[in-house]
Amino acid sequence: MSGIEIGRLLRSGTTGFVVGCRVNQLDAPSLGALVRVPLTEGYQVYGLITDIHIEDDSLVRQLITAEDVPEEVLRDNRENRNVPVEIGVLTLGYEEGGRISHLLPPRPPLSLDAIYLCTPEEVVAFTSAGRFGYLRHILQDEDKPVEELLAAHLRQAKAAQEDAGNEDWFEAALSELITLMRDEYQQLMTILSVAGEI
């Protein structure tokens, strides 16, 4: 397995975790991207990036009040200093012994475990396993912008699935969303509207 390491785990629970990284690692992760945390041989946890939060520090607070901040100071602050960045991840499932499950994992990742962006092949494997059971985890996270998360995730997964020759995946995913959200008409219409732009 490969993939780009985007940071290390700060804190976790079974439903989600927070990753810490440097600003210069922010090229790769994006809202709605699928990530994985390999733990032991044959066991890893999958999640969806739900938030990217850049913390301030005392130097940044001083710089924002300055009138003309030189470009080299801005670049130095972003590239050389350890500006704290936190990435929130919603747990979607896990893999154990080569079998992917869209249930919450039996145990969460540990502090300082490395987090990787999933490759297109890993996105295909995770999103093809089972019957879209992981979608319910996204829909239940009412504190997050569900419509935007689903749109970002579906865009990534659709591209990976189509590259793998799975042309019907996107329609099947939308069909499952309609089934899951049949009692949430307004939210469903918003999601379908956003999905129509994918």
Asked whether residue 13 carries a pLDDT value surpassing 70, the answer given is yes
Q: Which residues contact 40 (CB under 8 A, 6 or more apart)?
A: none
Each residue's pLDDT tens digit, 73-110? 767 766 666 666 899 999 999 999 999 999 999 999 98
What is the pTM assigned to this prediction? Answer: 0.86
* Separation between Cα atoms, residue 115 and residue 20, nearest integer Å: 9
What gap in Å lies between CA 126 and CA 102, rounded to an integer? Answer: 8
